[in-house]
Amino acid sequence: MTILVTGGAGFIGSHLTERLLQLGHTVICLDNLDDYYDPGLKQQHIQAFTGSPAYHFIKGDIRRQELVADILSGHQCDTVIHLAARAGVRPSVFAPALYVDVNVNGTLSVLEAMRQTGVRRLILASSSSVYGNTPGIPFREDQTGEQPVSPYASSKYAAELLAHAYHSLYHFDISCLRLFTVYGPRQRPEMAISQFVHGLLTQTPIRVFGDGSVVRNYTYIDDTVTGFLQALTHLQGFQRLNIGGAEAISLQQLISLLEQLTGQTTRIQHFPLQPGDVLYTAADLTLAQRRIGYHPAIPLREGLQRFISWHKKKR
């Protein structure tokens, strides 16, 4: 299988690429190496693949529809895994037009390029943020009235709606995977677990927004990648699926667990809860288990220990 992975130089994309290559697929990576965080880190992510004849890197923007179409036809791709997006809930509050442009118009560009070139298979990376503060926990995919509370979340939900339109009009086979707080080696440096581990290992204060009671469902990167691979195997029709971890804990509980695992304590600096942040995320995995056989395998404690070991090595 020849797969176009947009955003393939990022945290999730590089891990997914690694597994796809191991399974014998050809991977075409399209990434613009934007400056949301250090582009040099993304280049490091893909260094291990650059010598593989089954891997091709193209620097470019998903909003360039002709470029995407040329890649799909020129490399005879049969599937697209669309990860490329402007990330980050909090920054989206201050740059909503950018997030709509990249995440909505960029997705439309990819869908149109697929339509033009006859590619009908798509896995779209969505986000648990689409649920917002919707009542009813854990979140189920069949809940109506999702209530996104940030431009980022709204842009991801809009991308899902566009994808459904292309499924209805052109019979695309599409899975929208709603990802729940992915962590692990290569995690973006501004994300909470990266920040907390760095603070503990360097004995510098860590910042917590709110009183520490915010709850997140953390998913180890290996489980997330497994979810993509299982969705790829069962790619038929249209479906939205939660891809999350087995447990949800508060920020305060997370910090306590990290202190245990690192043997360090730290000083916490509290700041007001940020606009756009949701109070709770938890994934109901029943549908993903039934449809694609998804079961998270890495407990939070084990995943955090793996991340800490990796972080120590890279320092």
Tell me the pLDDT tens digit for each residue of 268-296.
998 898 888 888 999 999 999 999 999 99
Annotated catalytic residues are 152
On whether residue 207 sits in a domain, the answer given is no
Q: How far apart are CA 10 and CA 225, in angstroms?
A: 13
In a domain, 174, yes or no: yes
Residue 278's closest CA among 307, 305, 248, 254? 248
Which residues make Cβ contacts (< 8 Å) with residue 147, sequence separation at least 6?
A: 131, 132, 133, 134
Residue 135 falls inside a structural domain: yes
Q: What is the pLDDT of residue 245?
A: 96
- The range of the structural domain enclosing residue 119 comes to 2-180+221-244+283-296
- pLDDT tens for the chain, 315 residues long, are 999 999 999 999 999 999 999 999 999 999 999 988 888 889 999 998 988 999 999 999 999 999 999 999 999 999 999 999 999 999 999 999 999 999 999 999 999 999 999 999 999 999 999 999 888 889 999 876 578 899 999 999 999 999 999 999 999 999 999 999 999 999 998 899 999 999 999 999 999 988 899 999 999 999 999 999 999 999 999 999 999 998 899 999 999 999 999 999 988 998 898 888 888 999 999 999 999 999 999 999 999 999 999 998 876
User: For 99-123, how does the pLDDT look when each residue is reduced to its tens digit (9 = 90+)?
Assistant: 999 999 999 999 999 999 999 999 9
Provide CB contacts within 8 A for 235, sequence distance 6+: 79, 121, 123, 173, 174, 175
Other CB atoms within a 10 A radius of the CB of residue 51 amount to 7
| pLDDT value for 131 | 93
- For residue 142, the model assigns a pLDDT of 87
User: ω before 185 within 30° of 0 (cis)?
Assistant: no
Q: Cα–Cα distance between 121 and 51 in angstroms, integer?
A: 27
Give φ, ψ of 22 to 5 degrees.
-60, -30
Domains: count for the chain: 1
How many residues are recorded in the chain? 315
∠ CA 35-39-45, rounded to 5°: 140
Closest among 301, 314, 103, 79 to 183, alpha carbons compared = 301
- Could you give the CA distance from residue 222 to residue 27 in angstroms, rounded to a whole number? 18
pLDDT digits (tens, 9 = 90+) for 245-259: 988 999 999 999 999
By DSSP bridging, strand 248-250 and strand 182-183 are unpaired
User: So what's the pLDDT on residue 110?
Assistant: 98
- d(Cα 175, Cα 239) in Å, to the nearest integer? 5
Q: Give the separation between CA 279 and CA 290, rounded to whole angstroms.
A: 28
Residue 154, both tokens: 């709204």
Please check whether residue 277 lies inside any domain of the structure.
no
* CATH number of 240's domain: 3.40.50.720
Averaged pLDDT of the chain: 94
CA distance between the termini of the chain: 37
Query: In whole angstroms, what separates CA 56 from the centre of its chain?
Result: 21
Q: Please indicate, yes or no, if residue 254 is contained in any of the structural domains.
A: no
How many other C-beta atoms lie within 10 A of the C-beta of residue 224? 28
